[in-house]
Structure 1
Amino acid sequence: MDSFTLNKAAGAVLMVLILTMGVGIVSDIIFEPTIPGEPGYEIVLATPEDSTSEVEPEPDVVPIGERLMAASASAGENVAKKCAACHSFDQGGGNKVGPALWNVMGRKPGGLDGFGYSSAMTAYGEEKPEWTYEGMDNFLAAPKQYISGTSMGFAGLRRPEERADMIAYLRELSENPMPLPGQ
């Protein structure tokens, strides 16, 4: 290999290095980075004054008392299959990820002995003495919105008829069912 070929190879290597450095310098000038005062993203949390534990009812939804008159407990049993992975429905059934739902209607929210409720559910149980039809309807519609901070991961039942069927089924899971509204 003669010296001319060696100079060409060395020149090519130097040219690539200079070009790479030049592109880096030019890109730093064009895309000037801004370094934040504090690293990360600011997460804004709702303050207790901003949040409520009540979900506004949908304006065109028939009240739960009227929907319960047309509800079917057997259809509610089919809806309850969505809940069976986390809840038991049998009398004397044990707790799973969620509490046993036998005799839940009329029971104090967060009041089943032997189950570790979230602090949000326990606080809700201190406000409300028992699960009412309206309360259960709102809770089943959107659990995390109705009781902010609940550990229940279920998204909710969006269709009002499904909720009414489910509540009719939960009502029957008792030796002494709660009277229907208006009875």
Structure 2
Amino acid sequence: MKIAIHATIAAMLLAMPAVAQDAANGEKEFKKCKACHMIQSPDGTDVVKGGKTGPNLYGVVGRKAGTLEGFKYSDALVKLGEAGEVWTTEDLASYVTDPNKYVEEKVGDKSLKTKMTFKLAKNQADVIAFLAQHSPEAGGTATTDAAAAPAAAPAAN
């Protein structure tokens, strides 16, 4: 009986359409992020002017965690990268929801804390869809010849 219930639930989940992400809404939601983050292509073109407290998020989807050249990451993000974390859209959506909890779960060390204190409570998938548009490694469409350079290109200061 339990197997039949599980099979029915699985079939229903597979039949459900995936929740579509809205990159246009994500661009609006990114306003919350730009106090600390910018999106600037390797050729210096500003996609979104923003702060430099956090790393440049151009090319973040597909980038190894804690590795953008020229940015001083917390030990938590460095260890996450050393553990092999490459940002996927799903991982980023979980990370922005609760950065410290995410790192703790991935690395298994409660003492590690990120510098990111902000928690994005809703529309995470939309924001990440917007970031994916500016991530050549993720198949983003906002690319230039210069954007074909490694995703770890430093942010212009």
TM-score by length of 1: 0.55
For 1:128 and 1:66, the matched residues in 2 are separated by: 28
- Number of aligned positions between the proteins: 111
* Aligned mates of 2:40, 2:127 — CA distance in 1: 15
Rounded to whole Å, the distance in 2 between the matches of 1:127 and 1:83 is 26
SS at 2:127 equivalent: helix
Match of 1:66 in 2: 18
Contact 1:105-1:178 at 8 Å conserved across structures: no
Q: Tell me, yes or no, if structure 1 residue 86 matches structure 2 residue 47.
A: no
**Secondary structure of the structure 1 residue equivalent to 2:135:** coil
Map Cα deviations across residues 99-135 of structure 1 (whole Å, 9 max, x no partner): 0000000000001000000001100111134101221
Letter of the structure 2 residue corresponding to residue 109 of structure 1: A
- What residue ranges of structure 1 are gaps of 5+ in the alignment? 1-61
C-alpha contact 2:89 2:132 (8 A) present in aligned 1:
no
Provide the rounded CA distance (Å) in 2 between the counterparts of 1:175 and 1:137: 18
Gap regions ≥5 residues in structure 2: 1-12, 104-111, 141-157
Q: Determine whether 1:110 maps to 2:66.
A: yes
1:36-64 Cα shifts (integer Å, max 9, x gaps): xxxxxxxxxxxxxxxxxxxxxxxxxx9xx
Aligned-residue sequence identity (percent) comes to 39
Counterparts in 2 of 1:176 and 1:151: CA distance versus 1, 3 Å = closer
User: Once superposed, what is the RMSD of the aligned Cα atoms?
Assistant: 2.4
Structure number with greater Rg is 1
Q: Could you tell me which residue of structure 1 aligns to residue 106 of structure 2?
A: none
2:108 is the alignment partner of 1:158: no
Aligned partner of 1:151: which letter? K
1:169 aligns with: 130
Distance 1:176 1:87 in 2: 19
Distance in 2 (CA, whole Å) between partners of 1:149 and 1:168 is 26
Contact 2:61/2:137, CA 8 A, preserved across alignment: no
Structure-2-length-normalised TM-score: 0.63
Report the Cα offset of residue 176 of structure 1.
4.6
Q: Aligned residue for 1:126?
A: 82
